[in-house]
Amino acid sequence: SGRAMKVLLLTGLGALFFSYYWDDNFDPASLQGARVLLTGASAGVGEELAYHYARLGSHLVLTAHTEAFLQKVVGNCRKLGAPKVFYIAADMASPEVPERVVQFALDKLGGLDYLVLNHLGATPAGRRSGSVQATRRLMQVNFLSYVQLTSLALPSLTDSKGSLVVVSSLLGHVPTSFSGPYSAAKFALDGFFGSLRRELVVQDVNVAITMCVLGLRDRASSPARPPVPRGVTRAKAAPGPKAALAVIRGGATRAPGVFYPRRLHLLCLLRGWLPHPRAWFVRQEFNVTAA
């Protein structure tokens, strides 16, 4: 049938893209001495990114909201061999913070080779996830601060012919229930970086943009995954270290996109072609255990 042919075609396209992204001739030595500004570095995949960069000999500036968590990660990075590692605690909900963070990184490292944007915002306690106030805050943290950080770091990245690496979850491409404000911000982000990539080509600016889609899931609530109704849980989390390594490989090889696990690429392709199977796939991220 026509639908079956579409599935076969998309599967073939997915395999082609996967082979393109992963036959990447990744050279770990290319990251030795690289100057990296990493946001959202205190926990989760951001913490794992910091540890991988440290093992590879990169110079790091780490930022996140909580100073105590950052201090722990910095200490571990030093043990893992990072030649230089600095941190700056910062709340991206404040519009003036991105400039302070980028300037700190430039002062400490003398320039940037990688800007890795991984931070995200949570709905403030006591507010509904769909409220205007919560959405406005999430747009600042999950969208506007990304735009600010990128604009401020772009001159240095242009000088170094560096890379922008942008990390988000599947919800930035295929929204589900309970994800409205987060998905809205990440959809906007995808459009912004898609436009920026084209502008850089037109202006002949050699800065790569790698968009990373991670399928990390947690049974507990997280900032990107707000509380769900009773009786509904998330699927088991994917391994953070492996997801972080996929991000680093993609950024280092200047790949346009990274999908981890790889099946997420096919799911994103299915989004516009087969809406009903897409919904079925998305529902597999949930376990409904009670009425």
**What are the residues whose beta carbons fall under 8 Å from the beta carbon of 212, sequence distance 6 or more?**
165, 166, 167, 168, 246, 247, 250, 257, 258, 259, 260
- Dmax over CA atoms of the chain, in Å, equals 61
Pick the catalytic residue: 21, 146, 182, 260?
Answer: 182
* Torsion sign over Cα 28, 76, 208, 257: positive
Q: What is the DSSP string of 156-215?
A: HHHHHT-EEEEEEEGGGTS--TT-HHHHHHHHHHHHHHHHHHHHHHHTT---EEEEEEE-
Q: Map tokens 């941190």 to a residue.
A: 87
The total number of residues shown for the chain amounts to 291
Q: Which of 196, 113, 205, 118 is nearest to 160 (CA)?
A: 113
In angstroms, the CA 18 to CA 7 distance is: 16
Catalytic residue list contains 182: yes
3-state helix, strand, coil in the chain (%, to 5): 50, 15, 30
For 71, what's the count of Cα atoms within 13 Å in the CB-facing half-sphere?
3
Instruction: For residue 201, give the amino acid letter.
Output: V
Residues with a known catalytic role: 182
